[in-house]
Structure 1
Amino acid sequence: MSAPVLVLNTGSSSLKYRVVDADDGTVAASGLVERIGEPGSRVVHAVDGEERVVEVDVADHEAAVAAALDAFAAHGPDLAHLGLVAVGHRVVHGGTRFSEPVLVDDDLVAAVHGLAPLAPLHNPANAVGLEAARRLFADLPHVAVFDTAFHATLPVAAHTYAVPAAWREAGVRRYGFHGTSVAFVSRAAAAALGRPIEETKQIVLHLGNGASATAVDGGRSVETSMGLTPLEGLVMGSRSGDLDPAVLGHVRRELGLSADDVDRALNASSGLRGLAGDNDVRGVVAAAEAGSADAELALDVYCHRVRAYVGAYLAALGGLDAVVLTGGVGENAAPVRARALAGLAHLGIEVDAGRNDAARGPSSATRISPDEAAVAVLVVPTDEEWEIARQTVEVVTAAAGPTVGP
C-alpha cells in the first residue's frame, strides 16, 4: 500500500474503521465496534474476506478505538508495518465554517462540539472519536472530512430558507449530506462517460436507509434534497422526507404529541417503516410482490418522490448527461430503480430491463440505460472510506508543502 489511511467513522454507539490505500482503494482490513457503552458490545474484524467476531466490553469511544487496535494485533494486518500516513475521520456536520477537509487540532475538535445543535445525534460522537483517536495515534496527522462540505457550493437561492432573519442567523439553512458519497460517485460516473467531470451535468441518487438527491453541475453541488438535517427530501427507510411543517402543530393539537415525540416519529417511525412496517426496501419489495397493499403504496410513494426530484433537478441543471444511482438500494434494488425512473423517456431517461436486472451489486460503474438513450443511467458503487482517505492524503500533502529537491 503506497498511501494507507486509517478511516474512522464514529457513531453514537458504534465505530466503523477501515485501512484503505488512498491511491487505489485497496483495503487491508475493516471492521465495526458495536454497542459502545452497552451490554453485548463486540468487534467484527474483516481481513481478506474473513470475519472474526470478538465479544469484548467497550465502555466508551476510546475503548472502542483500543478494541479495534487489539483486533489488528490479534488478527492482522500489523498496523506498524503498513506505514499509515494519516487518520481520516468522517464528521457529519461542518456548518458554514467548514467547506473542505481540514487538519484536526484542538480548535477543530471544539468546533465540532460547537456544531452539535445542528447534528445532535452525530457531531458529539464524531468529536469524542476525534479526541480518542488523537490520543491513541498521537504521532499521525488527523484530518476531518465533513459530509456537508461538498454542498458548500450550493447557490444562495438554493440553500436559503424563507424564514425570519433571526432563524437564518441561528444557522437555519440547507446544508445537505452524503457529500463524500456524491463526490466519489460523480467523479466515477464522469470517468465512465469518458468526459471530464467539469463538462458533465449529473443527478446523483444516493438511495439507502438514508436517501438523497443531488444535482451536480461540473463537479459542483447546485441542488440537494437534504436540508438543515438529513430528514428533508426523499422518502427514506424510517424518515419521512418532505413534509408540510404545519403537521407539527396539527399532531400536537390532535394527538397530544410533544415536539420531541414528533421529531422521533419523523426520524425513526416514518418513511417506509411508517407506510409498510419495514424500513428495509428488500422486505417492502417482497411484501408488495406477495400482495401487500401497504407495501405497494410505500413503493409508489418512495418512487414518486425520486421521480419528482429527478424532474426538478433536470430543470435546475438546464440539461442532463447522467442519472447516477448509488447506496444500498441504488446499487442492489433493480425493481426500485426501474420503478423510480419509469415514465421519463420523454426526458431522455430510460432503463433497459435486461441491463438493470443484471446490475445487482456491480463492482464498477455500470450503464443500465439503452445505448441510444440521450441520458446515461449509471449504477455506481459508492466508497466513502476511499473518498475520505483520498481527501485526507490531499490535506496532509498540502500541509507538508512542496518537496525540495537536491
Structure 2
Amino acid sequence: MFVRRRLTLFAMTVAAAPLAVGACTAGPRSAVKQAEAAPPSVTVTPADRARDVPISAEVGTKVSNGRVTGVKLTDDKGRPVPAQAREDGSGWVPDAPLANSRTYTAEVTVSGDSGKTATRKTTFTTMARSTKPAVTSELYFQDKQTYGTAMPVVLGFDPPIPPEARADVQRRLFVRTSPSQPGTWSWMSDGKQAEYRAPDRWKPGTTISVRSALEGLPIGKEAVGDSDRVATAKVGRQVSLDIDNTTKQMTVYQDGKVLRKLPVSLGKPSTPSSSGTMVIMEKHEHTTFDTRGEPDGGYVVDVDDAQRLTWGGEFIHSAPWSEGEQGYNNTSHGCTNVSAAGADWLMGVTQVGDLVTVKGTEVQLQPGNGFTAWNVGWNEFAKGSALPVPAGLKPTQSPTPHPGAVAGGSAPAPTPTRSNSGG
C-alpha cells in the first residue's frame, strides 16, 4: 500500500530539531558522543550509469545510520518527476511509467544521528520500447463508482502470472483506503486472477484508490506488463443476500436488518446452483443468455434485472416463467430465479460488491469462479499472498463462519471468461 504522504520529487531541505541544553547537561561529553556517531550512508538504485532500465523503475534506497530527508528525481530536461513513497521507506514509485529511451537523475539525501548528512546521485537511461509480448491485465474496479462493502479489488491476467513472478507483480499493485483499512492480495492457484481485501468488509463511506502499476514491468523472462491502471471508488451501504436452498427463500439484509424475503427457484439437480459466498459482479437491466454450444444449453433468452454472481454464468434475475415454482421447486440452469416484481425491487437495493451467500445446493463454489475473496476465511485468504502479510492483520472479531462459506482454496480455478449461460 502507499504511504499517505505524497512526494513531488524535488530537493527537500529538512532541518534537524535543535538539541535542548539544560543547566545540568554536559556539553563536551555530548559533543564527544556526537562525534563518535557513525556517519550516515545511502545506496541508491538504479545504479549510476545503468542502461536499459525498465520504465517501471523506482528510486530504491538502502540507508545506514540515518534516514532519507530529501529526494530529487528529474528527467533529461530538468523537470521533476512526481512519485509516492513506499510504506516501508525502501523507495519512491513514480506516479506514471517513465518514458522509453530517456535519461533520469536521482539524488537522495540522508541525515544521521551524528548531525551529518550524505547525498548520493545516480543517472540512468531507460530501455527502448520493449518488443516482448505483453501480459494483458484487467482491473475489475472502476473509477468513480460506488460499491458494496464486500467488493474486492480484482485483477485478471492473460496469460497467467507464473508463481516465480507473482511477488514482483504484487509489489506493483497498490491499494490505499480512507479511513485506513489495510489488507492483502491473494492469488488464485493458476495465476489468472488476484484479489485484494481487508480482514473485515469495508466500512460504508470508505474511499478506495487503486493503482496497478505494471506498464513495462518485466514479468518472468519473456513478457512485460501492458499498462498502468488507476481507479478511485466509494463504498456504499452494507447490503447482503442469503439464499437458502432448503427453504427456497432469499433474505435481503441492510445494515444487519431484514428488509424483505423473496421466494426463489435455484438450479435443478442436473444444473445446480453453487453454494458459497460470492459477490455481485455486474448488474444489467436487460441482457441475453446465449447457451448455444454449451453443455445442457442450446437456448437463447432475453432476461431483465440480471445480476452476475460467477464467471460461469450464474445470475440472480427476473424469471416470470417460473414464478409458480419459486419457493417450492428448482427449475433453473444454475441461476437464482425471482419474480419480475421482486427482481425489479432488488435492482434498486443492491450494489455491485454486495455479499451473496448460497447454501444447501449440490455443488460448491470453486475458487476464482467470480469474485471469491470471501469464500474463505482470512487466514486461508492470506496464504495466497506472494509477499509476507503483516502478522497484526486479522478480523476484528472471530465470528462463527457464515453458513454459506466453504473451505476452498485448493481446487483449480476456472478460466475467468464471462459466460452468459444463465437460466
TM-score bracket, normalised by the shorter chain, equals under 0.3
TM value normalised by structure 1: 0.24
Bigger strand fraction: 2
Higher gyration radius (CA):
2
Q: TM-score, normalized by length of structure 2?
A: 0.23
Structure with bigger helix share is 1
